[in-house]
Amino acid sequence: MRILVVEDDPDLNRQLVSALSEAGYAVDKAMDGEEGYYLGETEPYDVVVLDIGLPKMDGISVLEQWRRADRNMHVIILTARDRWSDKVAGMDAGADDYVAKPFHMEELLARIRAQVRRATGHARAEIECGPLRLDTKTARVTVDGQPVKLTSHEYRLLAYLLHHAGRVVSRTELVEHLYDQDFDRDSNTIEVFVGRLRKKIPAHLIKTVRGLGYRLSPETDEA
Amino acid sequence: MKLNSLAFRLFRTAAVWAVLVLPLAGLAIDWVHSRDTYQSFDARLSQLLTLNIAFSTDRGGPEPGIPRNVGEPLFELAHSGWYWQITPIDNSPGKRLVSTSLASESLPLPSKLGLTPDRYNIIWNETRGPVGEPLRIAETIYNSGDDENPHFYSFLVAGNLEFAETRVRDFRVPLVFSLALAGLGLVLSTFLQVRYGLQPLRTVERRLSAIRSGEAEMLEGKLPAEIEPLQTELNALIQSNQDIIERARTQVGNLAHALKTPLAVITNEIGDDASPAARKVAEQAQVMRDQVSYYLDRARMVARVDVIGRVTEVCPVAEAIARALGRIHRDRALEIVVECPADVRFQGEKQDLEEMIGNLADNACKWANTRVLIKISVETRASERHSRRLLISVDDDGPGLTAEQRAQGIKRGRRLDESKPGSGLGHSIVVDLAQSYRGHFRLEEAQLGGLSARLDLPAA
């Protein structure tokens, strides 16, 4: 899952990027409205954390322009101006949720998880696929109840496939959603990580759909 | 009419004018009229005296005779009050002659009383006539001889003063009547002037009242030239008031932004650090966070109190909040219903109404299972200062609260369940805001099964 953080305060920006990276997300950052708008316009993010009070272009304008351009990623606005008029303006501009400053990082992470679930059509924090189970709150993966140790890249890949279980996910989509913009996007790395994952979870769960990509599915007959 | 009013001042002026000045004017007019009446009476006597001398000495010889008709028939009528008398003095020859009207009577000579003659050598006196009538007497001493052999005669003419006195008296009745009428007219015209003249002030009063009740924002309309500067100044004052509030709000918002981001940084920097120092910083950061929220809300409220009244359409506010919350909770299949009759208006600031409905609806959404109902109505109560009351209830079908919990729920900073996000200030902000509008807030059991938060506020 790839997240964009648009926050002008360098300390808060750093904290957000760090906390989200630790939580297993690929994170890009922008320090002002214009940069944030550009990234949101050109990169496929799953969730954007957008501050309202930004230099160069305010958050509401950024959001409105994204929505006008049919950019439909989920957006959580961060606002120090926590009056209801500000919240309503933010929601009317197309936000999906708001978090008022100052906030606890856990609260923001919970809201982000909720948005990711919403984006992929999952109602609960736990996502299952056959014996495979992901607790998005704790980022724990189990197979038949037994915990599986994953590196952060493996976790991101598996989490993305789990969120989109049953659907064919192309390599390009995986690259776009799993790595931040600074990452060396060699599509072979995906195959390397898929290979590693198949050794840690039942290998038949991740199917290769030739010429199209991968599909996570519990059915064995397609293996 | 109040004692301390412009109308009373104008009335008082008119009354003082009527009570003091009009009687003085009456006295002055009466004095002038009396003087003219008596002067013309004296002039008539003086004229008769001259004719009397002329017509009694025109036959030649030193001794005056009975004067020929001097043009006054009343000299012929007995005791008419009009008399003439010629009296030889200082042993001058001849006898005393009198008018027929005086018959056998005689009149005392003023010259014998030591009275001083005027510049026409006439001595004036007043006395009573043969029948007690008031007389005005004009006498002159006439020398019908020459300097070496003088023959002095007293020529006297008397007129009945009742003629003059009656004229003077007769004049006073219409004078008093017409002055009284003038006084009454003055008071009446002042009353009309006050009503007509002060009409624009009453218009100003009505328009100011409309501003206070929120029906108007400025003192509008064409007013007389004298009040126009007042209108301009009042509008400038209202505008300046609104500007100050707006600036204060902006500053409060800026302060919020300036403080809340560093607070977020501090809170998150500590993260999971369990050292005593980190916990203390975390605890104090939480205190700062609550205090910032509390005092920012207070600042917003203080900035609003006593602001010239505003009116807010309720339905758009409730619907916007329901829309925003619906978007936030859309994956919970939560039904947020707004029941709001058209044209319901809150007498107060839009932002405050948003805060109250927003906080209550937000709480209701956090706890509701499937349904939140925001119901708005208007009630008229004669007993309260603002008789039209806006009633807002926000109900949910969540677990609800016990009576004891409901009592606790409206206390500041009291969070009944830490598992739901929020600062725990929501209800107390609503309590403070409702109180600042002299409104009421209470928590009850909802018909839907959960909590019902009810607001009673002034309606416009």
Report phi then psi at A66, rounded to 5. Answer: -60, -45
Q: Do A91 and B359 touch (CB under 8 A)?
A: no
Q: Hey, is B441 helix, strand or coil?
A: strand
| Chain B neighbors of A10, CB-CB under 8 A | none
Residues of chain A with C-beta less than 8 angstroms from the C-beta of B260: 80, 100-102
Mean pLDDT, all residues of chain B? 84
Burial of B199 (0-12, 13-18, 19+ CB in 10 A): exposed
> Which of A70, A75, A72, A119 minimizes the C-alpha distance to A96?
A75
Q: Which residues contact A4 (CB under 8 A, 6 or more apart)?
A: A27, A28, A29, A30, A36, A39, A40, A43, A45, A47, A48, A49, A50
Q: Assess contact for B299 and B292: CB atoms under 8 A.
A: no
Question: What is the predicted pLDDT for the residue at B48?
Answer: 93
C-alpha A168/C-alpha A222 separation (Å) is 13
**Whether B261 and A102 lie within 8 Å, measured CB to CB:** yes
Task: Identify the H or E element spanning B50.
Answer: helix B22-56
Residue B261: partners with Cβ closer than 8 Å, 6 or more residues away: A9, A12, A80, A101, A102
Question: Taking phi first (over 0 means left), then psi (-120 to 50 degrees means alpha), and beta for anything else, what does residue B271 get?
Answer: left
Give CA separation, B60 vs A194, B139, B145, B349, in Å.
171, 22, 11, 115
Nearest by CB to residue B324, choosing from A9, A87, A117, is A87
Element holding B169 (H helix, E strand): helix B161-197
Cβ pair A11:B269 closer than 8 A? yes
Estimate to the nearest angstrom the gap between the alpha carbon of A123 and the chain centroid.
16
In chain A, whose CA is at the least distance from the CA of B271? A105
Residue among A53, A84, A98 whose CB faces B355 most closely: A84
Look up residue A27 and give its two tokens.
């994170």
Distance in angstroms between the alpha carbons of the first and the last residue of chain B:
30
Q: Which of A76, A79, A88 to mutate to test the interface with B (most CBs of B within 10 A)?
A: A88
Tell if the CB–CB gap between A104 and B268 is shorter than 8 Å.
yes
Beta carbons of A102 and B264 less than 8 Å apart: yes
Give the distance from residue A68's alpha carbon to the nearest chain B alpha carbon, in angstroms. 18
Give me the pLDDT at residue B30, please.
Answer: 94
pLDDT, tens only, B361-385: 988 998 888 999 999 999 887 765 6
Of A53, A87, A114, the CB nearest to B358: A87
Q: Give mean pLDDT, residues B60-75.
A: 82
**End-to-end CA distance of chain A, in Å?**
26
Peptide bond into B421 cis (omega under 30): no
Q: How far is Cα A47 from Cα A97, in angstroms, rounded to an integer?
A: 11
- The minimum CA-CA distance between B257 and chain A, rounded to whole Å, is 5
The strand order across the sheet containing A97-100 reads: A26-30, A2-6, A47-51, A74-79, A97-100
Inspect the interface and report whether the beta carbons of A101 and B264 lie closer than 8 Å. yes
Name the stretches of chain A with pLDDT < 50: 222-223
CA atoms of B366 and B359, how far apart (whole Å): 11
Give the span between the Cα atoms of B372 and B358, in whole angstroms: 13
pLDDT of residue A62: 94
Q: Is B330 in Cβ contact with A118 (below 8 Å)?
A: yes
What is the identity of the amino acid at B92? S
Contact (CB<8Å) A84/B265: no
A to B CB pairs, distance under 8 Å: 87
All residues of chain A having their beta carbon less than 8 Å from the beta carbon of residue B297 are none
Burial of B19 (0-12, 13-18, 19+ CB in 10 A): exposed
Instruction: State how far residue B293 is from chain A, nearest Cα, in angstroms.
Output: 9
Check A92 against B320: CB less than 8 A apart: yes
**Contact residues, chain A, for B271 at CB < 8 Å:** 19, 105
In terms of Cβ atoms closer than 10 Å to its own Cβ (0-12, 13-18, 19+), residue A98 is buried
Are the C-beta atoms of A37 and A56 separated by less than 8 Å?
no
Residues of B in contact with A80 (CB under 8 A): 256-257, 259-261
Of B162, B161, B171, B136, the residue nearest B31 (C-alpha): B171
Query: pLDDT, tens digit, for every residue of B187-213?
Result: 888 888 888 888 888 888 888 888 877
Which tokens go with A148? 């599986």
Task: Say if strands B335-339 and B371-380 run parallel, antiparallel, or are unpaired.
Answer: parallel
Q: For residue A53, give the nearest of B257, B264, B358 by CB distance.
A: B257
CB contact under 8 Å between B261 and A80, yes or no, is yes
Distance CA A205, CA A194 (A): 11
Q: What is the pLDDT of residue B186?
A: 84
Q: What is the mean pLDDT of residues B1-22?
A: 81
Cβ-nearest to A12 among B264, B321, B421 = B264
Structure tokens of B199?
């009409």
Taking residues B266-285, report their average pLDDT.
84
CA A50/CA A13 separation, integer angstroms: 11
Q: Residue B69's pLDDT is what?
A: 72
B308: pLDDT strictly greater than 60:
no
Closest Cβ–Cβ partner in B257, B267, B357 for A80: B257
Among A90-94, A194-198, B153-157, B259-263, name the one with the lowest average pLDDT.
B259-263
pLDDT score of B411: 59
Amino acid at the residue B78: A
What residue in A sits closest to B286 (Cα-Cα)?
Answer: A102
pLDDT band with cut points at 50, 70 and 90 for residue B295: confident
Encode pLDDT of A128-171 as tens digits. Answer: 888 888 887 777 888 888 888 888 888 888 888 888 888 888 88
Q: How confident is the model at residue B309 (pLDDT cuts 50, 70, 90)?
A: low
Of the candidates A11, A80, A84, which has its C-beta nearest B260's C-beta?
A: A80
pLDDT, mean of residues B297-326? 77
Rounded to an integer, what distance in angstroms lies between the CA atom of residue B197 and that of residue B268? 70
Residue B289 Cα distances to A101, B34, B277, angstroms: 9, 95, 18
Tell me if the pTM is above 0.90: no
CA distance A150 to chain B (A): 23
**B400-420 residue pLDDT tens:** 888 787 777 665 444 444 445
Chain A interface with B: residues with Cβ < 8 Å: 9, 11-12, 15, 19, 53, 80-85, 87-88, 90-92, 95-98, 100-105, 107, 110, 114, 117-118, 123
The confidence score (pLDDT) of residue B414 equals: 46
Concatenated DSSP letters of chain A: -EEEEE-S-HHHHHHHHHHHHHTT-EEEEESSHHHHHHHHHHS--SEEEEESS-SSS-HHHHHHHHHHTT---EEEEEES---HHHHHHHHHTT-SEEEESS--HHHHHHHHHHHHHHHHT--SSEEEETTEEEETTTTEEEETTEEE---HHHHHHHHHHHHTTTSEE-HHHHHHHHS-TTS---THHHHHHHHHHHHHS-GGGEEEETTTEEEE---STT-
With contact defined as beta carbons under 8 Å apart, do B406 and B426 qualify? no
B250: left (phi over 0), alpha (psi -120 to 50) or beta: alpha
Q: CA A80 → CA A213, B254, B304, distances in Å?
A: 43, 9, 20
CA distance B405 to chain A (A): 25
Note whether A107 contacts B421, CB cutoff 8 Å.
Answer: yes
